[in-house]
Structure 1
Amino acid sequence: MIIQQATQEIETATGAMRCQIYRPQTEGQYPCIIFYSEIFQITTPIERAAKTLAGHGFVVVTPEVFHELNPVGTVLAYDDAGKDKGNQDKFTKPLEHHDSDTEAMITFFGQQPYCSGTFGTMGVCIGGHLAYRAALNSKITSAFCLYATDIHSNTLPCDENNDSLTRTGDIKGEITMVWGKQDPHVPLEGRQKIHQKLMETERNFTWHEFNAQHAFMRDEGDRYDPELAIQCYQMAINQFRRSL
């Protein structure tokens, strides 16, 4: 499918949030996927990933995940300064604010004539965590989470007993977790902790571990694994087509 792109600012409980929207040019109603970025926000690799999904028949919404903490349009570089600023933002914004962002996107895009009213989530790195977190919302039917950080360690700010791991049992839809076994950010014991929680709460989940490093989907840098990336895109597309 040929796609089109637009920018939309929506109101959230913590202020205006800019979203990039990628969707088929052909008129019709399509399932909506909220695609959460890394700490660097909407970089060119994130744009290309969103376009890849949209071209398979989805409305893909990519929000500026730290909109409260940066000027509109902020994109951080893949360097030490960008990493430091992104991590500062990550450890500053409470999970509850991400929750209200998700609710605002569901409300807004659920009213758009090009959306079918069904929602999935996908994300990489902190975005993988946010896709998992968004799945706590009962309106999210399907989630595809890639090397999700900070779930196992409960290192993101939130109210007591409101961390994502503790609330795993609130996930109602289908969820897929994808990991790189050489990822130092989520070691074996961390992955086991999440797997055990999903098992204990009897969630509908699929689990994949690859011989890959952190950020193996990002098509910039020396950790990119093109073959695994294509495989993961296909798995996500198949899941969303089936579940949405």
Structure 2
Amino acid sequence: MEARTETVTVADGSFDLHLWLPEGGRGPVVLLIQEIYGVGPYIRQVAEELAGHGYVVGAPDLFWRIQPGWVSDHSEAGTAESLKIGSQFDVPHGVADSAMALTHLRALPEADGGAGVVGFCLGGSVAYLMAATVETDAVLSFYGSAVPDATGLMEKISCPLLLVFGGSDPYIPRDRVAQVEQAAAGRPNVEMYVAEQAGHAFLNHEAPQFHNPEAAPAAWESALEFLRRHVR
């Protein structure tokens, strides 16, 4: 699988956009937005899998203003450091950077077809906020903690949107997820997937403290099917 790093330039600097290409060299694009752990092993494995399904995948380094190239493991110390880095993250800048990264992806010679956005944790919040302001074919937001406080943005979202949560997430309690379900009800472009027995970041097989091996496969297959339907 071919991979390379592109550079995206914005008004106050530039950042890396890590790129993975499908076997055929061309395909629809997916912007993959990182967790607080950076573009680390888990995000890279997700990118490789998506590229294996035929997508041109780009993962931007969103912490470039704080600590370029930040990658941490999922240990207690790594999580504490990642939370510290994440606390310095400027969300509006991150949304704008992600929008620029998506524009860059769409302009690549390998881009052929639609464009989607997939975000996990911090990236799930950024992906959801992007959906209200950036034209794209589909957005998948996994356990974005900003979503419950921003359900009013759904009125501005016209693209297909899949919101994935764990029903037993201590960081996003079930009653907060219910608020999102209520806001999504009756909106034909919005789908909800709640794994009731799963907690936060339950798809992340690199993090034993989060991963739910029973819930993860079905949720991920639903996500892939959603992409197949909407990003051509």
Q: Same fold (TM over 0.5)?
A: yes
| Equivalent residue, structure 1, for 2:147 | 151
| Equivalent residue, structure 2, for 1:157 | none
Evaluate the alpha carbon distance shift between residue 23 and residue 149 of structure 1 in structure 2; reply closer, same or farther with a 3 A threshold: same
Evaluate the alpha carbon distance shift between residue 129 and residue 203 of structure 1 in structure 2; reply closer, same or farther with a 3 A threshold: farther
Q: TM-score, normalised by structure 2?
A: 0.89
Candidates 178, 190, 205, aligned match of 2:190: 205
2:54 counterpart letter in structure 1: G
Candidates 137, 148, 151, aligned match of 1:165: 151
1:69 counterpart letter in structure 2: I
1:27 counterpart letter in structure 2: G
Q: Does 1:41 align with 2:38?
A: yes
Candidates 82, 89, 113, aligned match of 1:86: 82
Q: Contact 2:17–2:101 (CA<8 Å) still a contact in 1?
A: no
User: 1:116 offset after TM fit, Å?
Assistant: 2.1
Counterpart Cα distance in 1 of 2:156 and 2:136? 11
Counterpart Cα distance in 1 of 2:87 and 2:154? 21
Counterpart Cα distance in 2 of 1:115 and 1:150? 30
User: 1:192 offset after TM fit, Å?
Assistant: 1.8
| Equivalent residue, structure 2, for 1:27 | 25
| Equivalent residue, structure 1, for 2:92 | 96
Evaluate the alpha carbon distance shift between residue 223 and residue 172 of structure 1 in structure 2; reply closer, same or farther with a 3 A threshold: same
1:85 counterpart letter in structure 2: E
Counterpart Cα distance in 1 of 2:164 and 2:62? 21
Q: Does 1:67 align with 2:64?
A: yes
User: 1:59 offset after TM fit, Å?
Assistant: 0.9
Indicate the percent of aligned positions where both proteins have the same amino acid: 24
Task: String of CA shifts for 1:84-136, please: whole Å, max 9, x gaps.
Answer: 33323333333221221122112212211111252111121111111212212
Unpaired stretches in structure 1, ≥5 consecutive residues: 154-163
Paired residue secondary structure (1:140): coil
Unpaired stretches in structure 2, ≥5 consecutive residues: none
Counterpart Cα distance in 2 of 1:116 and 1:206? 26
1:16 counterpart letter in structure 2: S
Paired residue secondary structure (1:73): coil
| Equivalent residue, structure 2, for 1:18 | 16
Q: Does 1:234 align with 2:221?
A: yes
2:221 counterpart letter in structure 1: Q
Counterpart Cα distance in 1 of 2:111 and 2:159? 19
Evaluate the alpha carbon distance shift between residue 25 and residue 101 of structure 1 in structure 2; reply closer, same or farther with a 3 A threshold: same
Moved over 6 A (4+): none
User: 1:178 offset after TM fit, Å?
Assistant: 1.3
Counterpart Cα distance in 1 of 2:173 and 2:24? 43
Q: TM-score, normalised by structure 1?
A: 0.85
Paired residue secondary structure (2:74): coil
Task: String of CA shifts for 1:179-210, please: whole Å, max 9, x gaps.
Answer: 1111101001211222223337x361111111
| Equivalent residue, structure 2, for 1:161 | none
Pairwise CA RMSD: 2.0
Q: Does 1:189 align with 2:180?
A: no
Q: Contact 2:184–2:190 (CA<8 Å) still a contact in 1?
A: yes
Q: How many residues align?
A: 229
